[in-house]
Amino acid sequence: MLIDFAFVHCCEVALSEICGLERPDEENTIPVRMSEETNDKKGFEIWGEYSCLKDASSVKSFRPFISIYHLKIAEDSRKNGLEPGLVAQVVLIHEIAHYVTHLGKGDDGKIWKDFTSEAKGNKEGAAQAATWLYLRKHRKSDALYVFDCLTENAPAEYQGWKEWKNWKIEDPDSSSLEKDIESFRESLIKVSRLASKKDCREFEG
Cβ pair 12, 46 in contact under 8 A: no
Question: From the CB of 158, what's the least distance to Zn ion, in Å?
Answer: 7
Nearer to Zn ion (CB atom), residue 114 or residue 124? 124
| Residue with the shortest CB distance to Zn ion | 205
Report DSSP state, residue 111.
B
Nearer to Zn ion (CB atom), residue 56 or residue 156? 156
Strand order in the sheet with 48-54: 32-35, 62-69, 48-54, 203-204
Q: Which residues bind Zn ion (CB under 5 A)?
A: 44, 124, 127, 205
First-to-final CA distance of the chain = 22
Q: Strand 62-69 relative to strand 203-204: parallel, antiparallel, unpaired?
A: unpaired
Report DSSP state, residue 192.
H
Question: From the CB of 18, what's the least distance to Zn ion, in Å?
Answer: 16
Question: From the CB of 179, what's the least distance to Zn ion, in Å?
Answer: 25
Quote the CA–CA distance of 109 and 112 in Å, as a whole number.
Answer: 9
Question: From the CB of 44, what's the least distance to Zn ion, in Å?
Answer: 5
Nearer to Zn ion (CB atom), residue 86 or residue 93? 93
Nearer to Zn ion (CB atom), residue 64 or residue 205? 205
